[in-house]
């Protein structure tokens, strides 16, 4: 099997590269080798590599900057997946793509299910939705895993932002009206690998429903998540400047992009179609905090 993995330098791509290498011959070009915003370069790369499986873990993920760099967001999140999907469709090559809770409006407080009509609130969500729709219409054998609030011990994410703020500030102000499931990238990678290894991906994808949510179980506000990070690291012996994590509303913490208040994702399809029951977000957080605490306590070289 010849596998093309995009975004191998990102949070999710990093953890997918190793197990994908065990599955077949892996090509994982970084942005310097393959700029996904360059459609011609992407088509040439597909022709040169001739993958028999495509895993697209790349994305333009800066939610606030996407409001002004909208063209770039669409090139990476919509045009590139469309090119991959069209190429895959003509050859019957399976495409595993990753998408986001930000395609939903965030209205109400029930978990979104995969059949719900998306209604993104910001340019990032709209660009990701355009990618999802292009893939669904391409005729390629595809699976779209929609996840939420992705984080890891390193990289640019909510956990590392809180960690950085906790080192330098006494008071952290974190929104408590956005609710979702904080999800380590290793969890999504494990779900993706279990599905890819379940049999011929073309057959597995055909019975998947097309879009499947893959996130940790349970729910938390951003504020609860921040508290769990700071308290959990303190319990592990880390010393911080932060004394208080204060809840604020989204209105009190304005950002360039509007965020959905309800990012809950129903995990029923993941359970019904694949028998996968992800752990609760607090349990999933523990090994990541262990890794962060180990790195924090390591003496500087
Ligand atoms: N982060 C979240 O909270 C979140 C939540 C829900 C869903 N998701 C989805 O999960 C997937 C993985 O996200 P992530 O958090 O792992 O993202 P990430 O850490 O930001 O990584 C994205 C990867 O895409 C690459 N990339 C961006 N623009 C590119 C371009 N023009 N050409 C080539 N590569 C490019 C980046 O390369 P560089 O390293 O060079 O920038 C990076 O390797 C994405 O589909 C994302 O939409 C993320």
Q: What is the mean pLDDT of each run of 10 residues along the chain (301 residues)?
A: 96 97 96 97 98 98 97 98 98 98 96 96 98 98 98 94 94 96 98 96 94 98 97 92 92 92 97 97 98 82 60
- Could you give the 3-state DSSP secondary structure of residue 145? strand
Residue 38 lies in a domain: yes
Phi-psi region of 210 (alpha: psi -120 to 50; beta: other; left: phi over 0): left
Residue 200 lies in a domain: yes
For the stretch 119-142, pLDDT in tens is 999 999 999 999 999 999 999 999
pTM (2 d.p.): 0.96
- The residue range of the domain holding 76 is 2-148+185-217+265-279
Residue 167 lies in a domain: no
Beta strands in the chain (DSSP E): 2-6, 25-27, 53-56, 95-100, 142-147, 150-151, 171-175, 179-180, 183-184, 211-213, 220-221, 244-248
C-alpha 8 – ligand 1 centre gap (Å): 9
* 142 neighbors 210 (Cβ within 8 angstroms): yes
Residue 288 lies in a domain: no
CA angle 16, 17, 19 (to 5 degrees): 70
Instruction: Residue 135: give its domain's CATH number.
Output: 3.40.50.720
Residue 62 lies in a domain: yes
How far apart are alpha carbons 301 and 39 in whole angstroms? Answer: 43
- The four Cα atoms 34, 36, 40, 41 give a dihedral, to 10 degrees, of 0
Residue 144 lies in a domain: yes
Residue 299 lies in a domain: no
Burial of 47 (0-12, 13-18, 19+ CB in 10 A): exposed
CA angle 88, 96, 151 (to 5 degrees): 145
Catalytic residue (choose from 60, 74, 104, 124): 124
C-alpha 57 – ligand 1 centre gap (Å): 6
Report whether residue 183 contacts ligand 1, using a CB cutoff of 6 Å.
Answer: no
104 is a catalytic site residue? no
**What is the number of domains present in the chain?**
1
Residue 123 lies in a domain: yes
């Amino acid at each position: 099997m010849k596998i093309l993995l995009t975004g191998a330098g990102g949070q999710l791509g990093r953890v997918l590269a190793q197990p994908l290498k065990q599955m077949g011959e892996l090509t994982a070009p970084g942005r310097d080798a393959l700029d996904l915003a360059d459609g011609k370069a992407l088509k040439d790369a597909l022709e040169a590599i001739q993958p028999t499986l495509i895993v697209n873990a790349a994305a333009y993920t800066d939610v606030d900057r996407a409001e002004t760099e909208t063209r770039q967001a669409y090139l990476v999140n919509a045009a590139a997946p469309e090119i991959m999907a069209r190429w895959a469709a003509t050859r019957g090559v399976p495409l595993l793509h990753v998408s986001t809770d930000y395609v939903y409006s965030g209205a109400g407080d029930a978990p979104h299910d995969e059949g719900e009509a998306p209604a993104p609130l910001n340019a990032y969500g709209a660009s990701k939705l355009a990618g999802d729709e292009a893939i669904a219409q391409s005729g390629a054998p595809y699976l779209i895993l929609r996840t939420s609030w992705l984080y890891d011990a390193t990289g640019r994410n909510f956990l590392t932002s809180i960690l950085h703020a906790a080192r330098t500030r006494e008071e952290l102000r974190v929104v408590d009206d956005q609710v979702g499931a904080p999800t380590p990238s290793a969890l999504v990678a494990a779900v993706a690998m279990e599905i890819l290894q379940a049999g011929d991906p073309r057959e597995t994808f055909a019975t998947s429903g097309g879009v499947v949510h893959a996130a940790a179980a349970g729910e938390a506000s951003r504020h609860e998540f921040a508290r769990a990070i700071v308290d959990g690291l303190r319990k592990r012996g880390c010393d911080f400047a932060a004394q208080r994590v204060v809840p604020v509303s989204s209105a009190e913490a304005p950002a360039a992009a509007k965020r959905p208040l309800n990012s809950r994702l129903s995990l029923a399809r993941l359970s019904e179609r694949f028998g996968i029951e992800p752990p609760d977000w607090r349990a999933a957080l523990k090994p990541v905090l262990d890794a962060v605490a180990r790195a924090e306590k390591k003496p500087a070289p």
